[in-house]
Structures are given as structure tokens and as C-alpha cells.
Amino acid sequence: MQPIIDTTLLIIGGGPGGYVAAIRAGQLGIPTVLVEGQALGGTCLNIGCIPSKALIHVAEQFHQATRQAGQSPLGISVTSPRLDIGQSVAWKDGIVDRLTTGVAALLKKHGVKVIQGWANILDGKQVEVDGQRIQCEHLLLATGSNSVELPMLPLGGAVISSTEALAPQTLPKHLVVVGGGYIGLELGIAYRKLGVQVSVVEARERILPTYDSELTAPVAESLKKLGIALYLGHSVEGYDDGCLLARDDKGGQLRLEADRVLVAVGRRPRTSGYNLECLDLKMNGAAIAIDARCQTSMRNVWAIGDVAGEPMLAHRAMAQGEMVAEIIAGKARRFEPGAIAAVCFTDPEVVVVGATPEQASQQGLDCIVAQFPFAANGRAMSLEAKSGFVRVVARRDNHLIVGWQAVGVAVSELSTAFAQSLEMGARLEDIAGTIHAHPTLGEAVQEAALRALGHALHI
């Protein structure tokens, strides 16, 4: 029998939350063991955030090259481009490999013991991995989430999840995406730009239903220009004989021929498969309930990231993981962020930070709402990216900014400035009075604040 491993902190899950918690704990001198059943980096690094953005980049480059092969308004002419999807996937895999190798090196540098295998929880102080027992003072659950599966569309063969969509051996002729949320649209747009016919089937009446319609309108227009067919208000019934079957709210049947179907209808906290039920933790729906310190209903049992529910964002998990390590080290910390940016990497991109106009109204706030269009921004024009806008939401009485939203090319890069302004309690005058570099997309941030104050300079 193997000797029991004793440690102060035991982390189950090596995704963004788990590995950041482990690195920070190691920096603070906390003896730490990290257990991971698959690859370090978790879903985000291996089959989510990073590979999807790499594939989106490949698709955009191919799309632009194809565009230049026709009548380019820029005066550029190239011969007809060809795509080697195998080489594209290998390039994407190379990025993932470099990042996961880097994570492993950082864990080793900070003295974290990594155990490869699937954890089986025995109680709040003991876990077993392939017969090896590990005993701890603190147990941190960072197990992430799984793709939601549909019973009428079991995965296998032509029906795939985002995992398979990010590592295609060949490209389909017609991809049907089930789900009009950010995962489905990001991948659907990428496949369309790679030359695939794409259709999107969504049960609700509009795409990106968690975002307001004004923000999603430029995305819907882009889908139309790209030639992506939208079937909104349709409930999927199954896949049979090479066709996706769906029905609208009036009973009309839709039959779409498709040689591949991508199911992208959301994610669910991963709470099964490691005997979590033996802890009898308090739950918040499908997620583990936590307090402002990420403590569960059991003393010294913590939960971070997707397994603790919405928002399911890697950067939230990282911040929580760092905080828990510092609490265990004796520091006074609470997870009370002023804002967590949500970014949708569609074409164009969408960013939401803080309160939207509707949310501010629901909170009883009397707010000024102002936006500045990229059509009036010189940098956007030079990038052929005039679609979209930046919008600011601020209290009318003291001009305190409570929210930012943006839709446009590369607006994801504005998310940090948006979040910082809310964390630092910025007012409209602070943003309006900051000199923004010219020509940049960021000038639209200043112009939105100026417009809210009644004196925008370029509109």
C-alpha cells in the first residue's frame, strides 16, 4: 500500500482556476497538491478559449485572403488561396502545447506536486487517486464544467461538440450549429470563413439572447453578409438520415441536410464523477453554493470557477483561485469585484462590463446612456471596421460610471479599460478628461463619455 500524502492544500482540477490557485499557493509557501485527470490548463487552454481563438484567427486570415482574390477595395490582388486544415490544426495544437508546457513549468517552479489521475473524494479531508490516498487541511474544488448534451442529439458520428469542432480532420460541406449563443456563433462564423456552408438553429427568437438586441444587431447583420442562415424560434427534434430535424412554435417542420451538426447549447457545472455527493454540500441549482470567500457549506472546502456557477469565465476562476490561496495563507480577502468583463468573440466582437441600461433601470438608477459609433472613428475606418459602437451608462446625479458595452472589431481589447474604470470608481469627467491616443479605437471610449456630458467632438 502506498504511503499517504499529506498536504495543506489539495486542488481538484488543473484549469485556469486550479492552476492559478496552485501557483499562488506555492508562491506563498503553502504545501500544495494539484490533481488533474486530463491535461493541465483544463477546458479553456486545451479545448476552449485558446484553441477557439486560434481557429478564429486562421479563419479570418483565410477569409481575408479569399476576399483579396476577388475585387478588393484596397487594390490588393492575390491568386486563389488554398487551405490545409491539417496544418491549421497542427499550428493551433502547437500554441496549446506551448501554453500547457508553460503551466507545468510554473507549477514545478513553485513547488506544486502535480498528480495525474481522476480524484475520488472520500471526505472533506481525504481524496484517493488511482489507489494513492492524499490527506489535506484544505480541499479546493476547481472541476470546471461540461458541454450540455441534448438527449435527442447524442454525440457521435456526425453530431459533435465544440471539442471535435476545434480539431477537424476535414471540413464539412454544410455545418448546422444548434445554439445561437457565443460558443455556437464563434465557431459557426469561423467555419463559414473557412468556406463551409453554415446554418444556425436557435430555440429563442434572437441570437445571443443574454445580450441586449442593440448590441447584437451588428452581429446579426454580419451573419447575413457572411451568408449564414439563421433559423430562430426552432426547437431541435433530432438528426436522421443526414438531416437535422426541428420545429417552429407554430408546428412547422424544418429539415436541414447536414453532414455535420455542432451542439453548442451551453455548459453545466461538473459536479459528478468524483464522488462529490459524499460531502453533502449546499447547492445553488446545478452549481456548488459559495460565499464571498469561495467557501462552501463545509469548513475548509472551497469551490471556484464554473463548478460554482455563473458567470462561467476563465478570468473569474483565476481571480477566485488567487484569492483562495491568499485566504489560506492568512490574508483577509473577499471576492467582490466591481465588474467582470464578458466578451463574445464573434464578428464583430461584443463586450459587456457592469450594468446595461436595462439593468441600471431595474436597480432603480436614473442614468445617462450615451454611445459613439465606430463609423465616426478614424482608426475603425482605416481597418474597414465601421460597424458597431461604444456605449457608456452613468448615474445622472454624480456621473459615476456603472457600465460599458461595445460591439465592433477588436473591442475585446477595450474590456480591461472598461473594467478598470468601474473598479476605480471613475466618473464621466475622468474618462472625458483623459487624453486618448489618436488614431485608436479607444478614442470612441472618450467620445462616448464626452457625448454623455453633452459635448462629443466628432459627431
Identify the pLDDT of residue 456: 86
Q: Is 438 a catalytic residue?
A: yes
Q: Structure pTM?
A: 0.94
- Candidate list 174, 315, 438, 458, residue with the active-site label: 438
Identify the pLDDT of residue 1: 62
Domains of the chain and CATH, by start: 5-147+269-328 (3.50.50.60), 159-265 (3.50.50.60), 342-452 (3.30.390.30)
Extract the runs of DSSP E, i.e. beta strands, from 3-92. 5-12, 32-36
Identify the pLDDT of residue 91: 96
Identify the pLDDT of residue 393: 98
Identify the pLDDT of residue 24: 98
Name the pairing type of β-strands 132-141 and 301-303.
Answer: parallel
Run of H or E including 449: helix 443-452
Give the burial class of 452: count Cβ atoms within 10 A of its Cβ; 0-12 exposed, 13-18 middle, 19 or more buried: buried
CB contact at 8 A, 158 and 145: no
Identify the pLDDT of residue 67: 82
Identify the pLDDT of residue 68: 80
Region of 275 (left: φ > 0; alpha: ψ -120 to 50; beta: rest) is left
Give the burial class of 21: count Cβ atoms within 10 A of its Cβ; 0-12 exposed, 13-18 middle, 19 or more buried: buried
List the chain pLDDT tens, one digit each, 459 residues.
Answer: 688 999 999 999 999 999 999 999 999 999 999 999 999 999 999 999 999 999 999 999 999 988 887 667 777 777 788 999 999 999 999 999 999 999 999 999 999 999 999 999 999 999 999 999 999 999 999 999 999 999 999 999 999 999 999 999 999 999 999 999 999 999 999 999 999 999 999 999 999 999 999 999 999 999 999 999 999 999 999 999 999 999 998 889 999 999 999 999 999 999 999 999 999 999 999 999 999 999 999 999 999 999 999 999 999 999 999 999 999 999 999 999 999 999 999 999 999 999 999 999 999 999 999 999 999 999 999 998 889 999 999 999 999 999 999 999 999 999 999 999 999 999 999 999 999 999 999 999 999 999 999 998 888
Q: What angle do CA 418, 431, 372 make, to 5 degrees?
A: 75
Q: What angle do CA 95, 163, 271 make, to 5 degrees?
A: 110
- Amino acid at site 114: V
